[in-house]
Chain A
Amino acid sequence: MRRREFISKTIKAGLVTGTALSVGNYSELFPSPSNLFSSDFDLAAIKGGEPDAMFDEAIKAFGGISKFVKKGQTVVIKPNIGWDVEPERGGNTNPLLINRIIKHCLNAGAKDVYVFDHTCDNWNKCYSNSGIERAVKDAKGKIVSGASESYYQEVTIKQGKKLKKAKVHELILESDVFINVPILKHHSSADVTIGMKNLMGNVWDRRFWHANDLHQCIADFASFRKPDLTVVDAYYVMKKNGPRGVSKEDVLTMKSQIISTDIVAADAAAAKLFGVDPSKIDHIRIANEMKLGSMNLDKLSIYRKIL
């Protein structure tokens, strides 16, 4: 059954690619870095809508998802699915948002869209209670486990100061496009968790980070494979007791979203939205110093929209 499904899907994918080749725009099939980052905006900030509608609006500012996802490419989406809590608790990325991003990618002709996280709580429960498993399946994406060491392969982090090696999930290493979809929330260890902190779910051994200067490790790892796009979900924002939260009382419904190609800029803007100075968050400051991106929002061209 599964094999048959696989074969039929492969054939279908082949057909789609074939048609695209015969009638489509050839240049779009072979993206070059220049057209990947041809957007006029560095960052988009949206407020006042539902998570999916805000993404529709935000991605428009970048010229649509097709600027990032080309036909036949594989996409990996990395939400925060760290905790066994329901969406309203603000512990995990909003499932509506994940669902919508997958649909955008598939509409743009993505071959496969994978979603995974190396969760903290039991992964089966996290995937199901967060609503993300359902959302991914509904959107025809592929939900993948991050709970087995066999998925993780050791890589060297050249720019790393403390974190020089890490075992990274194969989807991050193999996928053509990497979309990072963190949720903005308070964090007892890292002050706030946004885009760079979310990348901690790409690796197997997180204890090493905690034991070896957490903030430096977070910044170090952001230099390894920068996401092509970072979408910060700030719809339900956990203002205290993060990252797991204790109850819905920890959550402020901010109905906001920030997306950027620059993970440091996305983090800086989200931190401000949260109400903290990004330069006071060590890993944002360090990442800025390492020139992994810019936390100086004044120099960026920002698309702002209140729905």
Chain B
Amino acid sequence: MKHSILRKIRIAVSIFFLLFTSILFLDIANFLPPDLFGYVTLFQFIPSAIKFAVLFIPSSIGFIIILILTLFFGRVYCSSICPLGTVQDIASHIANKKKRKKKFLYSKEYFWLRYIILVVTILSLFSGQLLLIILLDPYSNFGRILAQLFNPFINILNNFFAFTLEKLNIYSLYPIEIKSGYFIAALFPFLFLAFILFLSYKRGRLYCNTVCPLGTLLGIISKFTIFKLKIDKTTCEGCGVCSKVCKSECIELKSKKIDFSRCVACYNCLDVCPSDAINYQFISSGIVKQSSDKSRRDFLSKTSLFIIGLTTNALSQIKIIPQKESKVAVKKNSVSSPPGSKSIDHFTSNCTACQLCITACPTRVLQPSFTEYGIFNIFQPFMDYKTNYCNYDCTACSQVCPTAAILPLTAKYKKNIQIGKAKFIEDNCIVKTENTACGACSEHCPTKAVLMVDYKGNLKIPEITNKYCVGCGACEFACPTKPYKAIYVDGNLEHQTAEKKPVEKLDQKIDYKEEFPF
């Protein structure tokens, strides 16, 4: 039991990552400076690997550090850094408290299922398809659980306290409007959470060792680690306590072997072994031969995944039909991807839909997509101008993105990026239909790409100069017409550069001694 210090470190590190990753997603008031986020998300393997592939910069080498750590000590990412892993540990910890006697039991790995998922995921990645990563990456799933379920929950709590204090004339705590996405965007994380809690409650790290493609990948690397946890057959008394506390169910008592490809390096076994028989041992070579049998459960898990696939496909058939009230329907060729994402293509092929940008966006113009980018890119955020519009000076999403789907921007540079172009439908415009003044669009336009020009009599009507438009969506958001807007932003497939509007100097001088004009 001298090794229990390892277990303590593991627990401390895992709580650290769980806590700080959670705080990033639960910062409902956008209190944290966005440039700090990277220090926490740096070590999330898949986002970091994508970022490295895109940017090739030192701040994205988190996954390399993980790889090195894995090569030395095994899957420490899974036990300590992966927030979803810690969530599962909490669930199985509770489970073990409840069922005192029947704890974990050794089980064979679901070899085919495990490797098929990994291979299909990698193959789909090569074809530029991110769906499996979106659906299976543990960090991104954790992100969505927090963004879609816990963030609104904290928000509701906050609002409750804010209302209570308001009754006492205290306004220092303020309510925050909840602008969460559509139902499925919250339903999927909810089902996923239920699924993973159930699995871990029953079977510990079954998800990590069967479904999670990252778990399998790190498992393969674990086979080549320099230091492996091994049972010293001479000192082992065969009591089997280790196997009972192994949440990976990977300690086989008969042969006194640890399947290190499934071991998540939690060190629970080191802690309980009465004869200190489990140790890190230096291993120069030796790949543990894997048994490759299928099972009924294997089949069940496969079908359940298939069903998940089917439902998501079926959901894509649902189209939102707007009320038939107004004359000219808005037909967008594309939605806009956030500034810094270069193009829809770059964005959709690099975003794992962790939705950190959504929770960091102060206006919440970023919302999870459904079919906006196509069903295979479900949950990736898009600029939803129904919810709000992009703040002209803000670069929060670009600062927090852990994958480089949104590249870091300076405020100055961001103001020149055109993510879409405003389009005007005169027949929907209040000025034409009601013959009264409006101009909400021009009011909100930060670049004055939308300008009010002379119309009939005193009236003015919007006119758009596309080259000055940044596509922030302020005009579309502010436009009061229903159900179709009179002005909307059509997303650029490739982001372009907006021209700066030439500044006209005021040639008025003021004489402070001059009398008032009344």
Contact = CB atoms under 8 A, between A and B. Distances in A.
A252 B508 contact: yes
A207 B440 contact: yes
B439 A188 contact: yes
A154 interface: no
B98 interface: no
A246 B518 contact: no
Contacts of B393: 84, 125, 129
Secondary structure type dominating chain A contacts: mixed
Interface in B380-426: 388, 391-394
B174 interface: yes
Dominant secondary structure at the B interface = loop
B171 A249 contact: no
A125 B394 contact: yes
A124 B30 contact: yes
Contact of B518 (A144, A254, A272, A306): A272
Q: Which of A84, A208, A246 has its CB near the most chain B CB atoms (within 10 A)?
A: A246
B34 to A, nearest CB: 13
Contacts of A213: 434, 436-437
Interface residues of A, number: 63
A215 B30 CA distance: 36
Nearest to B441: A188
Interface stretch (B63-71, B201-209, B310-318, B443-451): B443-451
Contacts of B388: 122
B147 interface: no
Contacts of A122: 362-363, 388, 391, 394
A84 B452 contact: no
B501 interface: yes
Interface string B69-100: 00000000000000000000000000000000
* Chain B interface extent, by class: 35 or more
Given A48-B512, A189-B438, A269-B518, A150 B163 contact: yes
B518 A244 contact: no
Nearest to A187: B443
B183 interface: no
Contacts of A47: 512, 516
Contacts of B170: 2, 6
B79 to A, nearest CB: 38
A144 B481 contact: no
Contacts of B175: 145, 148, 150-151
B516 A125 contact: no
Contacts of A279: none
Interface string A247-282: 101111111000000000000110011010000101
A16 interface: no
A124 B177 CA distance: 13
B271 to A, nearest CB: 41
Contact of A282 (B29, B458, B501): B458
Contacts, number: 154
A114 B171 CA distance: 9
B370 to A, nearest CB: 25
A108 interface: no
B501 A124 contact: no
Contact of B171 (A121, A144, A207, A251): A144
A265 to B, nearest CB: 10
A222 B443 CA distance: 21
Interface string A178-213: 000000000111100000000000000011101111
A3 B173 CA distance: 12
B430 interface: yes
Given A189-B438, A244-B444, A304-B515, A125 B430 contact: no
Given A84-B391, A272-B517, A254 B510 contact: yes
A241 to B, nearest CB: 5
Nearest to B169: A112
B443 A189 contact: yes
B480 A210 contact: yes
A188 B440 CA distance: 8
Interface string B85-118: 0000000000000000000000000000000000
Interface in A156-185: none
B518 A210 contact: no
Contact of B437 (A112, A190, A269): A190
Contacts of B174: 144-145, 147-148
Contacts of A129: 393
B445 A121 contact: no
19 contacts: A2-B172, A6-B170, A84-B392, A120-B444, A125-B394, A129-B393, A145-B171, A148-B176, A188-B439, A210-B438, A210-B478, A210-B480, A212-B436, A213-B434, A213-B436, A214-B439, A249-B505, A249-B506, A272-B518
